[in-house]
Amino acid sequence: MSNQTPLLSIKNLHVSVEGIEVLKGVSLELNRGEKHAIMGPNGSGKSSMANALAGHPAYEITSGEVMIDGQNLLDMEVTERSIAGLFLAFQYPMAVPGVSVTAFMRSAMKARHGNSATVLRQFRKDLNDAFELLEMKKEFADRFVNDGFSGGEKKRFEILQMAMLMPKVAILDETDSGLDIDALKVVSKGVNAIAGDDNTVLMVTHYQRILNYVQPDFVHVLMNGKFVQSGGPELAHKLEDLGYDWLKEEAVAA
């Protein structure tokens, strides 16, 4: 049954940046309909994992296997990974001056669906719906991509892109960082609306805050490039209360 195939399967992934190993053998399976959270202190390798999966050229995969819906992700270029259904909501999205949000979204939709008349006819409506979902003003459509956006606007725009592209696997890299509580609620509402039975969401976060609004089914703790603990949502609460220190001791003891 193809439905039993995990949407993302990571086996013993090792990643280096400039010759320094940042992920030291990580395995994880994301199935349809599941929400996962990866938590960990700064420098634990969380963002490295997100970037390596998206195919950032600075992250070298030295060994391991990653499959997206049964296809070998590591054989794919960055572009192909996106088309195959991977999406990364960036921690620091790049500005592209002179390119309007509409032009950018249309290019991204064209890259997926070609010049499909149905999709292009739908485009305006879909974009407007996405604006509404993320409580963004229509004027946003004419602004340049991330150019002069506030921190909150950038994060909303990342989730707007997710709503438009409808990925199979969405990785949210510290999407909650730098958001005030209202923006966090809006962004979370967006993620919850998009998450469904046919996709999976992986939230990478330092704090448990966003997990109050987007309830994960599984929480994994990454430390020093390795998973040291996995559990249900209660693990996130424990971390919020106790910090990461108790796990450090366990990691050393193990």
Partner 1 sequence: MEDAYIRYTTIQNWAPNIYNLVTKRAVAKKNSVVEWVDGNIGSKLTMKYPCINLVGEGAKGEILTVAIAGKGQHQDSGAKVIHAAPNTSSRIIAKSISKDGGRSTYRGLVKAYPNAINSKVNVECDALLLDDKSRTDTYPTMEIDSDRVTIEHEASVSKVAEEQVFYLMSRGLSADEARLLIVNGFLNPFVKELPMEYAVELNRLIELEMEGSVG
Contact 30, 21 (CB under 8 A): no
Measured from the CB atom, the residue of 67 and 166 that comes closer to partner 1 is 166
Contact 37, 218 (CB under 8 A): yes
Reduced to 3 states (helix: H, G, I; strand: E, B; else coil), residue 223 is: strand
Interface with partner 1 includes 98 (CB under 8 A)?
yes
Contact 132, 49 (CB under 8 A): no
Reduced to 3 states (helix: H, G, I; strand: E, B; else coil), residue 167 is: coil
Dihedrals phi, psi of 97, to nearest 5 degrees? -60, 140
Between residue 3 and residue 42, which ones bind partner 1 under the rule CB under 8 A? none
How far apart are CB 106 and partner 1 at their closest, in Å?
10
How far apart are CB 225 and partner 1 at their closest, in Å?
22
Residue length of the chain = 254
Alpha-carbon distance of 14 to 23, in angstroms, equals: 5
Interface with partner 1 includes 245 (CB under 8 A)?
no
Q: Degrees (nearest 5) of the Cα angle 82, 83, 86?
A: 40
Contact 112, 165 (CB under 8 A): yes
Task: Tokens for 241, please give them.
Answer: 């209360």
Contact 203, 211 (CB under 8 A): yes
Stretch that binds partner 1, among 1-9, 105-113, 212-220, 230-238 (CB under 8 A): 105-113
Interface with partner 1 includes 241 (CB under 8 A)?
no
Measured from the CB atom, the residue of 26 and 165 that comes closer to partner 1 is 165
Measured from the CB atom, the residue of 111 and 242 that comes closer to partner 1 is 111
Stretch that binds partner 1, among 41-49, 95-103, 232-240, 245-253 (CB under 8 A): 95-103
Which residues pair with residue 173 across a beta bridge? 204
Interface with partner 1 includes 148 (CB under 8 A)?
no
Interface with partner 1 includes 93 (CB under 8 A)?
yes
What is the pattern of x (binds partner 1, CB under 8 A) and - over residues 45-84?
---------xxxx-------------------xxx-xxx-
Q: How far is CA 245 from the centre of its chain?
A: 26
Stretch that binds partner 1, among 97-105, 127-135, 230-238, 242-250 (CB under 8 A): 97-105
Q: Which residues bind partner 1 (CB under 8 A)?
A: 54-57, 77-79, 81-83, 87-88, 90, 93-99, 103-104, 107-108, 111-112, 144-145, 161, 165
